[in-house]
Every structure is written in structure tokens, then in C-alpha cells.
């Protein structure tokens, strides 16, 4: 098969601040694999969870070294790639896994979710994210979201460097805004909280009980992830006893082994394709989590519509979709998955269900028949 690796940049309309820092622009990678006239695409890029990090440059170097071998192979059967992909970093594996699955779905002319037997009607609203900032800036961001879509699920980032009092002020202010919105629209709004590992043990203990009293529906990664898996589990186990609302692991949960490891100590897991190494592992994780009685969240980093649309193929298995990064981009080179009100839908076209934007930076990927479609 023929393979190509390209870089593209993504610019956020509103920079996002979390406990570890602020992101305004990122550079991502697009891997394409072409065989017998069918092309599959996979996106990847660097990210940082506090205890593990990957740069786009290091991922590009891994993929560039792999390309000569990939080009000697054909895209199926997918199982034949397992030993080749196992040594790669998760984000490098993600690009290859997605490109091969996209190729496979296109070859069979079906979206992946349909090939997996998923019910595309079984989808629930996605959350939109409020980053850290002043109370005024966070409320302004919420109003901006509501001008864009009728969001009913709001994820508020906490773990502010300004401390717990500022975190509490943010929760109270956003709660008030959600109550006023519910009065206006007659539709209840849900508040989720994500500390991104920004609290210590005592702070987390104090916050989770208070968040329960505030009607917050879940708390994500209150404590920093730990490289030692036993210590990581022990920290969740210790906190779970005091936590009256669902406790969700994100930075601590990368792959299937983490789902199994964390299952006794958390109520849900946040699956992201860059952490899992692609959709093959993410599907296993989502199915296993549900079988173990865990709720499933599917999240994103600063990803384009290609990665979020790929993850959207899993949405029928997801309780808390969190795929909003592409909704905050100025220069997404891909067309967004369908959005009905605040419910993101799995794309219905073949493969991962995502097409390049005819006027975007990767417009030369578009087949000629796409050139007459409406601009992004
Ligand atoms: Mg998170």
C-alpha cells in the first residue's frame, strides 16, 4: 500500500486553560494509507497527561521510521499488524490503527459503527468544555457555547492554580448560569467537573463532598495520575469512600489493562483514542467497561473532526460523550460529524465517517465530487 504522513495545524477559536496549562494552537499529523484505489486516514498528535507525554515531533519520527515497512504490506487482515504496532507509542499506533480501520470500512462501504453492530440511534448529548479562568471569563465562554449550540451538558475544568476557593467560586457561578438557562428553556442542564489531577489528597476529599452537595453529576481525575499502577489504584480507592458522585478516571486510564485495574475503584473511565492507541483498543475498552458495570466517557484533546469523528463511531456505547474540541477550531481541515441540537452523531459515510473540508488546508485530499459541496 502507499502511505503518506502530513503535518497540519489546528487553531482554537478560544484558547483552553486547564490545571496543566493553556492550549491555543497545536500541530497534528495525518497518516494516509492507499490500496487498490481506497484511502484510509488516521490522525494523531502530541499530548501530556502530567505523568506521560508525547510530542508531535517524536510521534512523526516513529511513523516515518515505520512507513517503509508499512508500504510493503496490504491493509487487511488487521490482525497481521498487531506485532508491528505493539512497540509503538499509543499516539503513533493510533494513526496507523485509524487509517487501517478507515480503509477497511471504506472498502466494505460501511461506517465502522455499523460493522460493529452498534445502534447509531442510541446516542446522548455531548458535553462542552469550560476551561479555567476568571469567573467572568468562564461565564462568557458558556454564553459563547450557547450561541453555537443548545448545550445541556457542561464540563467545567477545575484544579485552578488560584486554589480551591476559586474552584468553588467557578462552580457556584456556572451552577447559577445553568439554573437560569434551565428556567429560560425548560430544559435541565447537567454540570460535570474535571480537575485534571489538579488537587492533592486533602483538597480532593474536601471538594468531592462539596461538589455532591452542589448537584454536580460527576468528577473526573481529582488526583494526579501515578506511574505506579498500585499507588494509582490506592489513591482512587482512598477517595472513593468519600465521594458521593461518580468518580471517573481519565489521565490514569489509557488502555484495556487500566480499565480492568481501575474498575473496583472508579465509576467510569474516559477513553481517548490518542491514549488507547486507536479505535481497536477503544472498542475493547468501552465494551469491557460496560460489562464491568462502569460508565463510559469518550473524550478528546485538541483534536480535529477526524479524530473526534473516529471516536464518534463508538458513541452508541458511551454514557458521557465529550467530543467538543473540533467545535472550537478556526481551521479544521475536516468536516464535522453531524450535530443535532447538542447530540453528536456517528458519521454515516464509510469508514470513520469523516470527509475532508473542500476549502480546508487538506483540500487536496478531497475527491473531485466533493468540490461542489458547501464550504465549512
Ligand atoms: Mg479529563
Please give the distance, rounded to the nearest whole angstrom, from the Cα atom of residue 242 to the centre of ligand 1: 20
Alpha carbon of 78 to ligand 1 centroid (Å): 30
- Please, which residues have CB within 8 angstroms of residue 132's CB and are 6 or more apart in sequence? 17, 18, 19, 138, 157, 158, 159, 160, 170
Tens of pLDDT, residue by residue, the chain (376 residues): 999 999 999 999 999 999 888 999 999 999 999 999 999 999 999 999 999 999 999 999 999 999 999 999 999 999 999 999 999 999 999 999 999 999 999 999 999 999 999 999 999 999 999 999 999 999 999 999 999 999 999 999 999 999 999 999 999 999 999 999 999 999 999 999 999 999 999 999 999 999 999 999 999 999 999 999 999 999 999 999 889 999 999 999 999 999 999 999 999 999 999 999 999 999 999 999 999 999 999 999 999 999 999 999 999 999 999 999 999 999 999 999 999 999 999 999 999 999 998 877 777 775 543 333 333 4
Q: How crowded is residue 97: how many other Cβ atoms within 10 Å of its Cβ?
A: 27
On the 0-12 / 13-18 / 19+ scale of CB atoms within 10 A, 364 is: exposed
- Sign for the pseudo-dihedral over CA of 139, 144, 150, 154: negative
- pTM > 0.75: yes or no: yes
For residue 371, the CA-to-ligand 1 centroid distance in Å is: 37
Report how far ligand 1's centroid is from the alpha carbon of 182 (Å): 25
Could you tell me the distance, in angstroms and rounded to a whole number, from the CA of residue 67 to the centre of ligand 1? 32
Distance (Å, whole) CA 67 – CA 176: 53
Separation of CA 269 and ligand 1 centre (Å): 10
Q: Ligand 1 mean position to 270 CA, how many Å?
A: 7
What's the gap in Å between 186 CA and the centre of ligand 1? 29
CA of 154 to the centre of ligand 1 (A): 13
**Residue 42 Cα, ligand 1 centroid: separation in angstroms?**
22
Sorted by where each starts, the structural domains of the chain and their CATH numbers stand as: 2-109 (3.30.390.10), 115-344 (3.20.20.120)
Task: Quote the CA–CA distance of 137 and 357 in Å, as a whole number.
Answer: 31
**What is the Å distance from ligand 1's center to 96 Cα?**
24
d(CA 155, ligand 1 centre) in Å: 9
Query: What is the distance in A from the centroid of ligand 1 to the CA of 25?
Result: 19
CA of 264 relative to ligand 1 center, distance in Å: 19
* Of 338, 343, 340, 306, nearest in space to 325 by CA: 306
For ligand 1, the distance from its centroid to the CA atom of residue 254, given in whole angstroms, is: 12
Output the CA 194–ligand 1 centroid distance in Å: 6
Residue 144 CA neighbour count, 13 Å, CB half: 15
User: Ligand 1: distance of its center to the CA of 191 in Å?
Assistant: 14
38 Cα–ligand 1 center, Å: 35
CA of 34 to the centre of ligand 1 (A): 34
> Residue 186 has which C-alpha cell?
425548560
CA–centroid distance, 2 to ligand 1, in Å, is 36
Can you read off the three cell numbers belonging to residue 8?
Answer: 497540519
Amino acid at each position: 500500500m502507499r502511505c503518506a504522513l502530513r503535518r497540519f495545524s489546528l487553531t482554537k477559536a478560544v484558547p483552553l486553560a486547564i490545571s496543566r496549562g493553556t492550549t491555543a494552537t497545536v500541530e497534528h499529523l495525518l497518516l494516509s494509507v492507499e490500496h487498490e484505489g481506497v484511502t484510509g486516514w488516521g490522525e494523531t498528535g502530541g499530548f501530556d497527561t502530567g505523568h506521560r507525554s508525547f510530542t508531535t515531533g517524536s510521534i512523526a519520527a516513529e511513523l516515518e521510521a515505520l512507513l517503509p515497512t508499512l508500504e510493503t504490506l496490504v491493509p487487511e487482515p488487521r490482525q497481521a499488524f498487531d506485532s508491528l504496532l505493539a512497540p509503538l507509542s499509543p499516539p503513533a499506533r493510533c494513526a496507523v490503527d485509524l487509517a487501517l480501520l478507515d480503509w477497511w470500512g471504506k472498502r466494505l462501504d460501511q461506517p465502522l459503527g455499523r460493522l460493529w453492530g452498534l445502534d447509531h440511534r442510541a446516542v446522548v448529548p455531548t458535553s462542552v468544555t469550560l476551561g479555567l479562568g476568571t469567573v467572568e471569563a468562564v461565564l462568557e465562554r458558556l454564553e459563547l457555547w450557547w450561541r453555537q449550540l443548545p448545550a445541556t451538558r457542561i464540563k467545567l475544568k477545575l484544579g485552578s492554580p488560584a486554589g480551591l476557593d476559586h474552584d468553588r467560586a467557578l462552580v457556584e457561578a456556572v451552577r447559577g448560569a445553568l439554573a437560569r438557562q434551565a428556567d429560560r428553556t425548560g430544559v435541565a442542564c447537567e454540570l460535570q467537573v474535571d480537575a485534571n489531577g489538579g488537587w492533592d489528597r486533602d483538597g480532593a476529599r474536601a471538594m468531592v463532598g462539596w461538589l455532591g452537595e452542589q448537584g454536580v453529576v460527576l468528577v473526573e481525575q481529582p488526583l494526579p495520575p501515578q506511574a505506579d499502577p498500585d499507588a494509582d489504584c490506592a489513591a482512587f480507592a482512598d477517595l472513593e469512600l468519600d465521594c458521593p458522585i461518580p468518580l471517573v478516571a481519565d489521565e490514569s486510564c489509557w488502555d484495556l489493562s487500566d480499565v480492568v485495574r481501575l474498575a473496583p475503584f472508579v465509576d467510569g473511565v474516559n477513553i481517548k483514542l490518542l491514549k488507547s492507541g486507536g479505535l481497536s483498543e477503544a472498542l475493547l475498552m468501552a465494551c469491557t467497561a460496560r460489562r464491568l458495570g462502569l460508565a463510559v466517557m469518550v473524550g478528546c484533546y485538541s483534536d480535529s473532526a477526524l479524530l473526534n469523528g473516529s471516536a464518534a463511531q463508538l458513541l452508541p456505547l458511551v454514557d458521557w460523550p465529550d467530543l467538543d474540541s473540533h467545535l472550537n477550531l478556526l481551521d479544521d481541515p475536516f468536516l464535522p460529524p453531524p450535530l443535532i441540537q447538542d447530540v453528536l452523531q456517528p458519521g454515516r459515510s464509510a469508514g470513520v465517517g469523516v470527509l475532508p473540508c473542500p476549502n480546508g488546508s487538506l483540500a487536496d485530499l478531497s475527491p473531485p465530487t466533493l468540490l461542489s459541496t458547501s464550504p465549512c
